[in-house]
Amino acid sequence: MIRKTFNTRTLAQAAGYNTAQLFLSDVTRYDLPIVSHSRRFSRDNVYGPTELCRALVLGRLRNLGFPASRALPYLNAVDGVAVEDAWQRFAANQCGELWLAVAADGSSVISEERSAITEALADMRDVLVIDLAAALGVPATTSLKEAA
């Protein structure tokens, strides 16, 4: 089952932080657009798929040597509405692919098809591509085709 809510520790791990406190410290310090939902569960913040995608983008940038202070253009490029819509379709299928491409110029594409991402890359510069399905540990598309 594909989760639709995530806690602070999950986002911290996705962003490459050792602790949730360090993650939240950078989110606050650099005013990063990772905001918890208004509800809490067991004294922990609850986040949605958009925030998880932003945390994964932050983690990938940090792995490339970018400091969190320079991640804002990439994080702002993640379209929350498009992520939520794609996440619902992805969760309904329970497996497959989900790709996110984010550029520093403020454009982003999220798609279940690798070809759509490849086409978008032709028009984008300084692009970061993330395989969200692999990050979530979801079975590959082949299992979906074999089941049909």
As a whole number, the mean pLDDT across the chain is 86
Structure tokens at 133: 């399905």
Given a cut of 50, is residue 13 above it in pLDDT? yes
Quote the percentage of the chain above a pLDDT of 90: 56
Give all strands (DSSP E) within 13-122, no chain letters.
Answer: 40-41, 44-47, 99-103, 108-111
Q: Cα–Cα distance between 64 and 60 in angstroms, integer?
A: 6
pLDDT of residue 95: 61
* pLDDT at res. 139: 62
The yes-or-no verdict on residue 41 having pLDDT over 70 is no
Tokens 């004294």, located at residue = 43
Distance (Å, whole) CA 102 – CA 105: 9
Please determine, for residue 140, whether its predicted confidence score (pLDDT) is greater than 80.
no
Q: Per residue in 60-100, pLDDT tens?
A: 999 999 999 999 999 999 999 999 999 988 888 866 789 99
* pLDDT exceeds cutoff 60 at 144: no
Q: How many residues does the chain have?
A: 148
- Contact by Cβ (8 Å): 95, 89: no
Per-residue pLDDT at 102 exceeds 70: yes
